[in-house]
Amino acid sequence: GPGILTRILLNAGIRVVAVESNLAFLPNLQSLENSLDGQLRVIYGDFFRLDPLVTGKVKPPALCSDELFETMGVAAVPWRADVPVKVFGILPQRKERNTLWRLLFSLYECSSIYKYGRVELNVFISEKEYKVLTAKPGEVKAYQALSVLWQIGCEIQLLHMEPWSSFITNLKNGALAIPKSTCLPNDHLCLVRLTPRQNLFTGGLKTTNSSTFVFMVKQCFAKPRSRLTDRLNSWSLDSGGKLLRELEIPKSAEMRDLYPEDYRRLFEALQNSSMFTDTWFHDEVLESIRKINL
């Protein structure tokens, strides 16, 4: 964009690496870079097209996260360490949902930017997607698989709401396109902080099985009004009733009735069950990841 966030960060004395995908904005940014004695580094690329699943060399504006972090001089830190990098930006509105899923897969697999630790995202997203990310059971139109997975994976903090009227919202020259919404409010862009949880990979949830967890939640919300007992039966888990009693979940509970932490407890219990195998998930998990990263 025109660099409003970049200038605010620079004025605060912060060292900034600006990743810009629009060639029209590069000359001014590069001129600013040359005048700041190392406080600003400008890179041509698109942060939201990091690490696409393509063969051969990645072509700009797509980027490779390893090259980006090497350029920034940032080394990987353990997951439970402090946040190594803070990212500020605006999600591309025409691919907003897809971008949120791509980031989610990377988060749970500790791949792409999350290979370097708990990278914090401070991003403008549409109000309707913010409502989805923070929805709870009972909010029928908003509560989705994205709600469960982002709430388990990150602390979500609303920093600011700005009316769409503050932005250029036509489709020319790369301006923002207001996402259509009939079911949820969408009058603002929301600046949201997404900080990965230090305790995400504890208990039975690990980077090695996290893709299976993501797919399990997605499959559960494919039919959100179905009962959990029916879903367990479809997974050939004969002891489903016993499992629900141990988890203190009513047998009549529908998939949309479970809180995010209930899904995590269910997954960990399934991992410990000798009667459940997730090997049949494998091919569908890989296909889901492949499609969302192209």
Q: Annotated binding site for S-adenosyl-L-methionine, which residues?
A: 1, 20, 46
CB neighbours of residue 264 within 10 Å: 21
Report how far residue 149's alpha carbon sits from residue 102's, in angstroms, rounded to the nearest whole number: 12
| Helix/strand/coil for 156 | strand
User: Which residues in 20-58 are b (16+ Cβ under 10 Å) and which e?
Assistant: bbeeebbeebeebbeeeeeebbbbbbbbbbbbeeeeeeb
Paired tokens of 249: 């979940």
Rounded alpha-carbon distances, angstroms, from residue 118 to 193, 196, 197, 247: 12, 5, 8, 30
Fill in the DSSP letter of residue 157: E
Q: What's at 47, amino acid-wise? A: F
Report how far residue 200's alpha carbon sits from residue 291's, in angstroms, rounded to the nearest whole number: 25
Residues in binding site: 1, 20, 46
> Which of 48, 38, 67, 39 is closest to 1 using CA atoms?
48
Task: State which H helix or E strand residue 216 sits in.
Answer: helix 210-220
Report how far residue 214's alpha carbon sits from residue 105's, in angstroms, rounded to the nearest whole number: 8
| Helix/strand/coil for 264 | helix
